[in-house]
């Protein structure tokens, strides 16, 4: 029986995806270097190899694998601008080695964790997969480079591949949630602020061309995202690279997220408004029509549920905090 390899399965999204794959009947092996993941985030009893992506070929040589779910990457936008070489090396060179190993050992299917950052400043809202790709940071550029490599590999080797371009992921599921050492995501930062684990939430700009003056972003629950990975494994045909956006198709402003956090927690949040940051778009909202048509996927969980699940997870364990501010 072939196995499914989850690269980065000890991270936030990877640990939830791993649980959903096991629940769907997959025999899973997780490979993670634990540079940002956590061994105790893995579900009990799952096969685990502590190594970086270069060890995938050794696993393929040991037994047959039917699919790879690739979530291993460096993903901090700001760091990618300051230290681009780390991102090109890990995200691009690492994935090139993975694709070579998959070809050598005839692993037929790949699901790749891509990102909305490949689009940069959108020209139209909602953003479809046919929108121009103009990343504004190294992180987005490396993910786009990998998407391009995968397209070439599918054409040359009959690999079946799906790239899932995430928008903003939030929430928790099946006992797994966000535990980043350097937190840049709005909802966990807002929860820390309302709980007194940071002195305030900084919002960059309240004069954007949006209904309430704060940026709009598309949020998707991590459980919905994980379901999409399970569906994606069987979605592509040999020689096809299918690219799907994952979002709910509706934007929520920073103020709307703050209101949801205050509603769920019953506490008032300390907020400071700063100037707009260069490069931040006013609106980022996905069109997920292709995911609906090709994967049979629809987001099911709303913003309040995302916040409530994230809050319950945060309350269940002590969380590390730092001085990072919201990226929105």
Residue of 61, 30, 241, 37 lying closest to 147 (CA atoms): 241
Tokens matching residue 110? 């790949």
Separation CA 80–CA 273 (nearest Å): 25
Specify burial of residue 266 (Cβ count, 10 A radius: 0-12, 13-18, 19+).
exposed
Tokens matching residue 135? 């990343």
Residues found in the chain: 328
Query: Annotated catalytic sites, by residue?
Result: 139
Residue of 264, 179, 269, 251 lying closest to 222 (CA atoms): 179
C-beta of residue 164 within 8 angstroms of C-beta of residue 154 = no
Separation CA 320–CA 217 (nearest Å): 25
Tokens matching residue 57? 């070929």
Residue 313: phi and psi, rounded to 5, are -65, -45
Separation CA 235–CA 296 (nearest Å): 9
| CA count, 13 A, side-chain hemisphere, 213 | 9
Distances in Å between the alpha carbon of 74 and those of 30, 106, 109, 119, 223? 17, 27, 22, 18, 22
């Amino acid at each position: 029986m072939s196995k499914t390899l989850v690269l980065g399965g000890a991270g936030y999204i990877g640990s939830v995806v791993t649980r959903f794959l096991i629940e769907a009947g997959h025999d899973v092996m997780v490979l993670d270097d634990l540079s940002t993941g956590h061994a105790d985030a893995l579900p009990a009893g799952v096969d685990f190899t502590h190594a970086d992506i270069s060890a995938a070929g050794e696993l393929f040589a040991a037994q047959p694998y039917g699919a790879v779910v690739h979530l291993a990457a460096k993903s901090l936008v700001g760091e990618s601008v300051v230290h681009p070489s780390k991102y090109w090396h890990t995200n691009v060179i690492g994935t090139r080695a993975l694709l070579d190993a998959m070809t050598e050992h005839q692993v037929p299917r790949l699901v790749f964790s891509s990102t909305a950052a490949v689009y940069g400043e959108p020209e139209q809202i909602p953003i479809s997969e046919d929108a121009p790709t103009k990343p504004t940071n190294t992180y987005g550029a490396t993910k786009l480079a990998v998407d391009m490599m995968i397209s070439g590999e599918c054409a040359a080797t009959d690999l079946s591949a799906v790239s899932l371009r995430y928008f903003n992921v939030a929430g928790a599921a099946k006992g797994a949630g966000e535990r980043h050492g350097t937190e840049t995501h709005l909802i966990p930062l807002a929860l820390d602020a309302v709980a007194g684990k940071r002195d305030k939430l900084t919002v960059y700009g309240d004069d954007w061309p949006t209904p309430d003056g704060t940026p709009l972003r598309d949020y998707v629950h991590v459980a919905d995202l994980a379901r999409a990975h399970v569906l994606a494994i069987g979605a592509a045909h040999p020689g096809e690279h299918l690219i799907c956006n994952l979002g709910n198709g509706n934007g929520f402003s920073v103020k709307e997220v703050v209101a949801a956090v205050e509603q769920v927690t019953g506490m008032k949040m300390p907020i400071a408004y700063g100037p707009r940051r260069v490069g931040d778009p006013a609106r980022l909202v996905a069109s997920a029509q292709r995911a609906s048509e090709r994967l049979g996927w629809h987001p099911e969980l709303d913003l309040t549920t995302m916040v409530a699940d994230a809050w319950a997870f945060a309350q269940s364990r002590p969380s590390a905090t730092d001085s990072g501010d919201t990226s929105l």
